Structure 1
C-alpha cells in the first residue's frame, strides 16, 4: 500500500489528456484552463519522478510509462465511478433494508413479498441475504429477521416464532425402505444428532449421505427426492402444501427461534413499522398443517 497518493484531480486530468491526446481538449472537457491541466500533469510527473508525455509544440504523446499509467488510471476511475453510483441506493427516501438468511428469503419471505408490495407499494425494499449474523452497529440495516440472532447494542430484540423440526422427504421415496433412502444432513438444528438428542423416533437415518451447509439447499434437495432430511416446519410449509414434501412421522421437536433485531434509529420509522406489522401478521397466519409437537 502506498504511503502517499497523487491527487485524484491530477489523475483525472492525466486520463482525459492521454485519452484525447491534447491538453487543450482535456481542458475543454473538464471546464478548466489549459494551464491548469498542464500544472496537474507536471505535478503528477513530479510525484512519479518521470515524464508521462512527450511534448512537441502543442502536440503531446504518451511515453511508455504514460501508456502503463493510463491503463491503471482508467480502471481505477471506472471502479470508483461504479462504486459511487452504487451508493445512490442508500439515498432512496423510502428504502428499507431487511437482512435475513438465504433459506428464509427463498422459502418463506420471497413467496410472500408480492402481498407485502401490494399492501405497501411505497416501501422500496432491499433484501440483503447473508450467511453470517450482521453487526447492526456497523452495517446499514434497518431490520434483521433470522434464526441465529441474539441481542445487540442499540437494537430492539424480539423472538417472533419458535420453530419445530420433523423428518421429511419427497412422496416418491415413501415406498422405499429406510435402507434404500439417502440421508441428507444439515448443520446446527438440522443435524440428525439434534433429532436424536430431543428424543426423535428412528426413521432409518444413516450417518453417511449428502451434506449441506445451506439449509435452503437442504430443503430443496429433500423436495427433489434426493433423500430424507430434518426440515424446518416454518420453511417447509410451502413445499408441504404443494405436495413435494411429506413427513415420515407425526412427531416434531424443538427447532430454532426466529427473531428480529431492529436498529433503534429505524424502530419508529413508518416504513419499518409497516414491514414489522405485516411480518407479524404473516407469521401468525402461517398454517403449518403441523404434526404433533413433543
Structure 2
C-alpha cells in the first residue's frame, strides 16, 4: 500500500483536464485558474515521475500512462461520490433506525409497515436486519426488537411477549401419510427436541430432513409444503390467514421472549414514541393470546 497519496485536488484537476482535453475548460468547471490546474498536473506528474499529457500550445492530449490513470481516477472519484452521498441517510432529521431479525422483518413487520406509514408518514424508518443482536453502544441503532436480546447499558429493556410454538404444515400435506410428509428442523426452540420435551406429542416428526438456522426460512419452507415444522405463533400469523399453514396439534409450547431495547438518546424522541406506541398496539393481540 502507498505510504503517501497524491492530493485529491490534483486528481480532480487531472480527471477534468483529461476528460475535457483542456486545462482551460477544466479550470472553468472547477472554478479555478488555468495556472492552478497546470500546477496540479505538474505536481501529479512529479509525484508519479512520468508525464500524463502531451502539450502542444494550448492543446493537450493524454499519454498512455495518462489514459491508464484516467480510468482509475474516474472510478475512484465515482466511488467516493457515491459513498459521500450514502452518508446522507445517517443525518435525515426524521430517521428512525430499527434493528430486528430477518424473520421478524419479513414475516411480521413487513405486512404491517403500510399501516404504520399511513399513521406516521413523517417517520423515515430504516429497517436494519441482522442475524446477531446489535451492540447498542457502538452501533447506530435507535430501537432493537428481537427474540435474542438481553438488557444492555444505556438502553431501556422491555419484554413485549412470550412467543408460542406449534407444529404445522401446508394443507396439502395433511392428506399424506405422516411418514411421507418430511420434517423440517430449526435451531434453539425451533428444534423438535424442544417440542418432544415440552409437549410429548408425536405428530410424525422424524430425525432426518432439511435443516434451517433462520426461523424465517424454516417458515417459508413449511409454507412451500416441504415438510412439517415447529413454527413461531407470532411469525406464522400471516401464513395461517393466507391458508398456507395448518396446525398439527392443539397444543403449543413456550417459545422465545420478544423484547425491545431503546437507546437512551432516542428514548425521548417523538419518532421513537410513535413507533413504540404503534408496535405495542400491533403486538397486543398476540401478547393476550
Output the TM-score relative to the length of structure 2.
0.95
Which residue is equivalent to 1:211? 211
Which residue number corresponds to residue 96 of structure 2? Answer: 96
2 CA distance for matches of 1:89 and 1:116? 20
Q: Secondary structure, in 3 states, of the residue corresponding to 1:133?
A: coil
Aligned to 1:254: 254
Answer with 42-51 or 97-106: which moved more.
42-51
- What is the alpha-carbon distance in structure 1 between the residues aligned to residue 42 and residue 253 of structure 2? 73
Moved more, 205-214 or 26-35: 205-214
> Could you say which residue in structure 2 is the equivalent of 1:128?
128
Which residue of structure 2 lines up, in the alignment, with residue 166 of structure 1? 166
Whether the 8 Å CA contact 1:167–1:229 is kept in 2: the answer is: yes
Name the residue aligned to 1:232: 232
CA contact (8 A) 2:178 2:204 kept: yes
Unmatched 5+ stretches in structure 2: none
Map 1:33-44 → 2, pairs under 5 A: 33-44=33-44
Deviation at 1:287, TM superposition (A): 7.9
Deviation sequence 1:197-252 (CA, Å, 0-9, x none): 33441222112111222221211111121110010010011212332211111121
Match of 1:64? 64
* 1:46-75 Cα deviation digits (max 9, x unpaired): 222222112222221212211111111101
Where 2:252 maps in the other structure, the secondary structure is strand
Counterpart secondary structure, 2:150 = coil
The whole-number CA distance in structure 1 between the counterparts of 2:193 and 2:248 is 17
User: Does the 8 A contact of 1:154 with 1:263 survive in 2?
Assistant: yes
**Which residue number corresponds to residue 281 of structure 1?**
281
- Once the 2 structures are TM-superposed, how far is the Cα of residue 31 of structure 1 from its aligned partner? 0.6
**1:68-90, CA deviations, whole angstroms, 9 ceiling, x for partnerless residues?**
11111101111111111111222
Q: Is the 8 A contact 1:17 1:23 kept in 2?
A: yes
Secondary structure at the residue paired with 2:179? coil
What CA distance in whole angstroms lies between the structure 2 residues aligned with 1:22 and 1:213? 59
What's the secondary structure of 2:273's corresponding residue?
Answer: helix
Distance 1:223 1:11 in 2: 55
CA RMSD of aligned residues (A): 1.6
Say if 2:161 and 2:287, in contact at 8 Å, map to a contact too.
Answer: no
Q: Deviations over 1:21-44 (max 9, x none)?
A: 111110011010011011111111
Q: Quickly say closer, same or farther: Cα 1:218–1:81, change in 2 above 3 A.
A: same
Cross-structure match for 1:52: 52
> Separation in 2 of the partners of 1:182 and 1:122?
47
Aligned partner of residue 285 in structure 1, secondary structure: helix
**Mapped contact 1:200–1:252 kept (Cα < 8 A):** no
Report how far residue 195 of structure 1 moved.
Answer: 2.1
Corresponding residue of 2:26: 26
Correspondence for 1:75: 75
Q: Matched residue pairs, number?
A: 289
User: For 1:152 and 1:12, how far apart are their aligned partners in 2?
Assistant: 46
